[in-house]
Chains A and B, each alone.
Chain A
């Protein structure tokens, strides 16, 4: 089940978005659950209960807490990088602050149904890529982590350090053993000792990647070209 939150105080926009989501779900026969919030505060309350939607259509302008603050709360305070945020605005001009929240897209009012449906489809595709579970052995125990929550793996001798949104762990293995099952989920090797989740990178530069938790992962000289090419391929495929 794919869950969508719509947060806007503009009634016509909310009902239009709901309609777009419902007709998309019917057309593609996918189960989508929608929930509407008229203010950022009510959405925060819901998030605090542990509920984590797959996608939020979020208006920027609100009388009290605004869309940017809510975005910051999700990304920084909750350390949640997996929920896709799509900003809705009547403007086309956006400050850098908004981009720092790493939104999936921006929808401009009046909303074009096709554009909104395309964005929804993109969010569903991206979530689908990382919806699986990753399993590893720690001692005699089998541990499971949601692929979407993994930031990166780091090889440390005979052990692997796995860093997730919720912390980190160590287990025996090598990068090559984790490569196979995760390559299709948009994981890549920027360095021979690292295996990184593409969607958990918050800033790309040619020689380093800043992860969503602030960690820096180096991009080794021989892999820079591959990393650049890979970004073009991924972005061209994922682009709306």
Chain B
């Protein structure tokens, strides 16, 4: 029997019994680098993870040659990456990096144990402590990398998350020392270690879920606001269409009336009547009508808001009826820029409330330029003017959304202040 040839020391059993934590950590790393929706086959993925766990245990127990251990580890992660669409070089890089991070942690801990008496001073079972710590730190690094990757994809991670995770890590570090230093019998010891890791994995899992759920609920809230705003915009659009229809239908009757008034010599009444008519027409023609219903309804809605706030808007909008910008993103850019300008303008006296809006499509790009006077000083934070406003608990709704959308379209946002004028220029590649 092959296993008879090698001694099964308690340390080796500990490594084997916690090997699943290593596999789970690899799984977390892979999930950070690849989107789970891009997974080709769930069955293939599961099989490879199980095979990896089994092979790692086998090689550790029966082969014990570092090069073989390295090859099996990197090779298995590489096999997992095959389950996702990716360039070959990236696959190789990820496979080696995932292994290298683990190896580095192990090496550092090993060096730390050798160089200092810290472990032996606080722990009677030095090898146990380093095995447990290696697993814990590796798992922790994977969780952090996962969050950072999501952060890059635009997910908002609240500051409190980092606090919780740091406290959890320190707390678990202390527990690890306690467990490995306890004088438990070997069996209860393994059971405790297993429970300890299960508890750790579950904690990280639920914490992750919590952040995702919060993100999702914020998205739902944003899209609810969006939908509400669309509904209002559409009703305004319909109203203005109705007015135009009535005007057209009514034109003949109105003309007869003017004719009658003129014939009867009542010039003042005739003139008044014409004035009323032109006034209504002017109101109708003031609205934006580019043929792009979403842009039109959004801007007309904002124009009516501006009117209520006594803000005079000078707009120049030249865009095709259809082009490659999602309506949600359009609302994120245009809607937020309007809101931002309104906020600044409301602080000014009514006669100074002027806003110049230019939205122009040119050679595959969309330019959105907002210019308005402002008062006071602009507080800059990471190159974006900081906003004190919070809507329904959503952080960062405003200019930062404009930046996120611009990034999505490989675009550019420039913000400048000259004298008392605040100018935002957004460029998006829209094809």
Contacts and interface: CB of A to CB of B under 8 A. Distances in A.
Nearest to B292: A93
Contacts of A224: 410
Contacts of B319: 94
Interface in A57-108: 91-96, 98-99, 102, 105-106
Nearest to B406: A228
B412 interface: yes
B365 interface: yes
B412 A232 contact: yes
B363 A202 contact: yes
Given A206-B410, A206-B429, A239 B360 contact: yes
Contacts of B291: 91-94
B10 to A, nearest CB: 53
Most buried by B among A96, A203, A232: A232
A229 interface: yes
A94 B290 contact: yes
Contacts of A48: none
A2 interface: no
A236 B369 contact: yes
Given A202-B363, A235-B425, A239-B369, A96 B322 contact: yes
Nearest to A98: B320
A7 interface: no
A96 B367 contact: no
A229 B317 CA distance: 22
Interface string A199-240: 001111110001000000000000011001101110110011
Contacts of B288: 92
Contacts of A106: 318
Contacts of B323: 96
Nearest to B358: A239
A102 B361 CA distance: 10
A204 B320 contact: no
Contact of A96 (B318, B320, B358): B320
Given A231-B427, A232-B427, A95 B363 contact: no
B412 A229 contact: yes
A229 B411 CA distance: 9
Interface in B369-393: 369
B431 interface: yes
A30 to B, nearest CB: 24
A202 to B, nearest CB: 6
Given A92-B288, A239-B358, A231 B365 contact: yes
Contacts of B414: 229, 232-233, 236
Nearest to A233: B414
B320 A232 contact: no
A39 B361 CA distance: 28
| Size class of the A contact interface (CB-based, 8 Å) | 20 to 34
A8 B365 CA distance: 29
B364 interface: yes
A95 B318 contact: no
Given A93-B321, A94-B320, A229-B412, A235 B427 contact: yes
Contact of A95 (B320, B362, B365, B411): B320
A54 B117 CA distance: 84
A206 B292 CA distance: 24
B316 interface: yes
Contact of B412 (A94, A202, A231): A231
Contacts of B364: 203-205, 210
Nearest to A115: B316
Nearest to B287: A92
Interface in B221-262: none
A98 B323 CA distance: 13
A96 B361 CA distance: 10
A95 B362 CA distance: 13
B289 interface: yes
Contacts of B316: 240
B323 to A, nearest CB: 7
Contact of A239 (B317, B367, B429, B431): B367
B360 A93 contact: no
A80 to B, nearest CB: 16
Contact of B367 (A91, A210, A229, A235): A235
A198 to B, nearest CB: 10
B361 A236 contact: no
Contacts of A204: 363-365, 429
Given A93-B290, A204-B363, A228 B412 contact: yes
Contact of A99 (B289, B361, B425): B361
Interface string B387-431: 000000000000000000000001110100000000101010101
Interface string B270-289: 00000000000000000011
A150 B114 CA distance: 69
Given A94-B290, A95-B320, A99-B361, A232 B429 contact: no
Nearest to A202: B363
Nearest to B317: A92
Interface in A10-39: none
B365 A92 contact: no
B362 A96 contact: no
B318 A105 contact: yes
Contact of A102 (B363, B369, B412): B363
Contacts of A203: 363-364, 431
Closest 4 CB pairs of A and B: A93-B291, A206-B410, A228-B412, A203-B364
5 contacts: A105-B318, A228-B410, A228-B412, A228-B427, A229-B412
Interface of A: 91-96, 98-99, 102, 105-106, 201-206, 210, 224-225, 228-229, 231-233, 235-236, 239-240
Given A94-B290, A228-B411, A235-B367, 15 more contacts: A91-B291, A94-B319, A94-B321, A95-B320, A99-B320, A105-B318, A204-B363, A204-B429, A206-B410, A210-B364, A231-B412, A232-B412, A233-B414, A235-B360, A236-B414
